[in-house]
């Protein structure tokens, strides 16, 4: 059986509130960025039309919506989990709470006294045992995760009826670039239809919550300007996953404009760390190295090494919590806008790209095992050759400052991995 580590070793400390004096200026700049891409408007309309069609299909009946919920006991659990235990605290609905980032953010909020209710469908994209282990960890810390699907509008309406949420931290999504080639409709279901269903619930709530949600660095697609800035073009997605995240940015902008929802989108850059996702390279490399199986390392054009802006989970969590703290208020009531509301987008990265071969060498040192490498050219599966975040906007508006380099972060990950999966090894 897997073992768990002490929470203090796994979880980031929670930041205090951050300054956002220039938020109004940033809002105007983002609006200009959106208005300058007329072709994106037409593309977004197409994706929204696709969403409406897909939602109609889902209403006929879907296996995703089979989870049971409701009843007196269930409502008591939801209310207890949402109870605020600090002055000026928040009541936050965290979607994807059984996931990697969602579980860490939920625990960070709960530890500082905020009310937290989770929502997760516990799908089988990767091993459900890991998701359930995260749920157990959250449960021991007083966090209740409702098992259900984002597209279940009745469930969302019930949650907003039981709890007056001040904020929504939307982290549920179908992740993965390559998986989209095998199961494209799962991305439409989760990343577009699910987002619209959630936003419908938020805009109809009274009062409306502020919404912080996970976009992705993948939206930069074929952009070759580095480091990636929030003001660079994002209308050339390289994968369906990226296209659904970009569509999400357009859709959230629409709900901000029409209904007065406060929206903050966060473009995460290659998040890693304890309790991570098994489909990520650092995680699968660790498993293969320990099992003595070869790992596949891709290279780009002209035999160039691929590079990623690897960002440790503690730093991402601090950015998420700071985004909640500075989100501002939604201005609508019962679906009617009463004034302009904040609309923000931030890069959350580490600003120090590292090549994949360098990542492997670090893992070898901490695992004390040599990797068996297979080097192949990068296939046309939606991956991009590099990512590199410009975080100056997040630094200025959120006080965001990543502090963990890849060497330190991977050491923490390996320590967790060896303990969780029961290896009789340790790292120095």
Instruction: List phi, psi (to 5°) of 361.
Output: -65, -35
- pLDDT at position 146: 98
Cis peptide leading into 181, omega within 30 of 0? Answer: no
Is the per-residue pLDDT at 34 higher than 60?
A: no
- pLDDT at position 7: 43
Cis peptide leading into 80, omega within 30 of 0? Answer: no
Tokens of 50: 């696709």
Which is more confidently placed, 33 or 361? 361
DSSP state of 210: E
Is the per-residue pLDDT at 17 higher than 50?
A: no
- pLDDT at position 50: 53
Q: What is the mean pLDDT of the chain?
A: 87
Annotated active-site residue 241? The verdict is yes
Is the per-residue pLDDT at 337 higher than 50?
A: yes
Q: Are 165 and 210 in contact (CB under 8 A)?
A: no
- pLDDT at position 385: 85
Q: Which of 252, 258, 165 is nearest to 215 (CA)?
A: 252
Is the per-residue pLDDT at 44 higher than 60?
A: no
User: What residues are paired with 93 via a beta bridge?
Assistant: 117, 168
Rg (CA), the chain: 21
Mean pLDDT confidence for 36-63: 47
Three-state DSSP state, 54: helix
Instruction: List phi, psi (to 5°) of 384.
Output: -115, 155
Is the per-residue pLDDT at 9 higher than 50?
A: no
Residue 48 — pLDDT band, cuts 50, 70, 90?
Answer: low
* Active-site hit among 241, 255, 259, 343: 241
Is the per-residue pLDDT at 183 higher than 70?
A: yes
Residues 6+ apart with CB under 8 A from 218: 177, 237, 238, 239, 241, 242, 245, 384
How much of the chain, in percent, has pLDDT values that exceed 90? Answer: 76
| H-assigned helices in 210-280 | 240-259
CA 280/CA 292 separation, integer angstroms: 18
**Location of structure tokens 């890069």:** 347
E strand or H helix at 169, and its extent?
strand 167-170
CA 331/CA 319 separation, integer angstroms: 24
- pLDDT at position 302: 79
Q: Which of 117, 111, 77 is nearest to 97 (CA)?
A: 117
């Amino acid at each position: 059986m897997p073992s768990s580590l002490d929470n203090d070793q796994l979880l980031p400390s929670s930041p205090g509130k951050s300054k956002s004096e220039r938020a109004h200026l940033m809002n105007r700049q983002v609006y200009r960025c959106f208005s300058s891409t007329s072709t994106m408007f037409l593309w977004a309309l197409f994706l929204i039309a696709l969403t409406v069609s897909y939602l109609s299909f889902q209403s006929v009946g879907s296996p995703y919506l089979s989870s049971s919920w409701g009843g007196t006991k269930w409502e008591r659990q939801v209310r207890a989990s949402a109870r605020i235990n600090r002055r000026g605290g928040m009541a936050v609905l965290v979607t994807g709470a059984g996931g990697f980032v969602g579980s860490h953010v939920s625990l960070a909020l709960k530890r500082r006294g905020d009310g937290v209710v989770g929502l997760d469908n516990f799908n089988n994209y990767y091993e459900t045992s890991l998701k359930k282990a995260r749920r157990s960890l959250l449960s021991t810390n007083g966090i209740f995760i409702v098992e259900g699907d984002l597209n279940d509008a009745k469930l969302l309406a019930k949650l907003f009826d039981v709890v007056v949420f001040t904020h929504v931290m939307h982290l549920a999504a179908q992740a993965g670039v390559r998986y989209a080639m095998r199961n494209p409709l799962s991305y439409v279901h989760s990343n577009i239809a699910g987002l619209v269903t959630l936003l419908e619930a938020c805009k109809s709530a009274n009062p409306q919550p502020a919404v912080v949600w996970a976009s992705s660095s993948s939206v930069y697609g074929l952009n070759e300007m580095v480091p990636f800035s929030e003001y660079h073009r994002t209308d050339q997605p390289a994968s369906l996953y990226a296209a659904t995240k970009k569509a999400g940015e357009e859709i959230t902008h629409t709900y901000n404009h029409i209904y007065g929802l406060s929206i903050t989108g966060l473009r995460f850059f290659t998040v890693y760390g304890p309790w991570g996702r098994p489909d990520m390279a650092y995680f699968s490399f660790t498993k293969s190295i320990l099992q003595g199986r070869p790992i596949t390392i891709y290279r780009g054009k002209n035999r160039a090494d691929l590079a990623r802006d690897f960002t440790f989970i503690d730093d991402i969590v601090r950015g998420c919590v700071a985004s909640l703290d500075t989100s501002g208020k939604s201005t609508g009531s019962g679906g009617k806008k009463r004034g302009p509301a904040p609309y923000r987008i931030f890069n959350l990265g580490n600003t120090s790209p590292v090549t994949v071969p360098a990542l492997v060498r670090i893992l070898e040192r901490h695992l004390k095992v040599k990797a068996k490498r297979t080097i192949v050219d990068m296939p046309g599966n939606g991956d991009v050759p590099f990512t590199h975040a410009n975080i100056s906007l997040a630094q200025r508006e959120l006080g965001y400052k990543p502090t963990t380099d890849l060497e330190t972060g991977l050491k923490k990950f390996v320590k967790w991995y060896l303990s969780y999966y029961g290896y009789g090894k340790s790292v120095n």
